[in-house]
Chain A
Amino acid sequence: AQSVTQLDSHVSVSEGTPVLLRCNYSSSYSPSLFWYVQHPNKGLQLLLKYTSAATLVKGINGFEAEFKKSETSFHLTKPSAHMSDAAEYFCVVSERGGYQKVTFGIGTKLQVIP
């Protein structure tokens, strides 16, 4: 069985300061991991994905995430927050194999303060 836990439901940062959104996962198999962003009344947009290549993954809009197997974590970071980063972020785990089971975290709302 797989699961994903987003450790913070809300995160608030000042514009220009670093962003850290935390995600822990559990999986019986070698997982693929994704981060998506959702702006109000919009669909989810893929930020980045980890699929067993490099453990440090770079995504769009300056975001990156590091896969740490020993800690079962896949935290999302950005060096400097912009106002446009205010949105909801979802961590997603997917198990590879004959059946693709996809599990979404409950989301972290990022507030950026001017």
Chain B
Amino acid sequence: DGGITQSPKYLFRKEGQNVTLSCEQNLNHDAMYWYRQDPGQGLRLIYYSQIVNDFQKGDIAEGYSVSREKKESFPLTVTSAQKNPTAFYLCASSIQQGRGNQPQHFGDGTRLSIL
């Protein structure tokens, strides 16, 4: 079955450490997204990518970085500059940006906590 796989499911970060969250999709989707979810705040967009080797900042990109070297992969790095990284991180994909009637498909998330 096609879908989005996020790993790991739980992740712990030490002070001053960078950590990378994995997101892989086999839906052949062009666009991929990273969201951060905090209680009572809904989903906030961190980064998105429309095609390979291209990505744009979302609403809360500070302290995060991404790469898009392959169509199926969109890893997110939470850097030490992100002072409040504890959250639930969701990766999503869609057929194509620019077609507003296309829904996004979500992975099962990674829960990041500070040690």
Contacts of A105 in B (CB 8 A): 42
Q: Give the distance in Å from the alpha carbon of A97 to the alpha carbon of B99 in the complex.
A: 7
**Binary B-proximity of A19-59 (CB < 8 A = 1, otherwise 0):** 00000000000011010100001111110010110000000
In the complex with contacts A42-B109, A90-B43, A105-B42, A100-B103 CB distance below 8 A = no
Q: Give the distance in Å from the alpha carbon of A26 to the alpha carbon of B69 in the complex.
A: 36
Q: Do residues A90 and B42 form an inter-chain contact, with CB atoms below 8 A?
A: yes
**Binary B-proximity of A81-101 (CB < 8 A = 1, otherwise 0):** 000000000100011111111
Q: Give the distance in Å from the alpha carbon of A45 to the alpha carbon of B104 in the complex.
A: 9
Number of chain B interface residues as a range = 20 to 34
Q: Do residues A43 and B106 form an inter-chain contact, with CB atoms below 8 A?
A: yes
Query: Taking CB as reference atom, which chain A residue is nearest B9?
Result: A41
Contacts of A113 in B (CB 8 A): none
In the complex with contacts A43-B109, A44-B90, A46-B103, A104-B43 CB distance below 8 A = yes
Q: Of B41, B98, B103, which contacts A49 at CB under 8 A? A: B103
Q: Which residues of B contact A (CB under 8 A)?
A: 4, 6, 9, 40-43, 45, 88, 90, 92, 94, 97-109, 111
Q: Which residues of A contact B (CB under 8 A)?
A: 9, 31-32, 34, 36, 41-46, 49, 51-52, 90, 94-102, 104-107
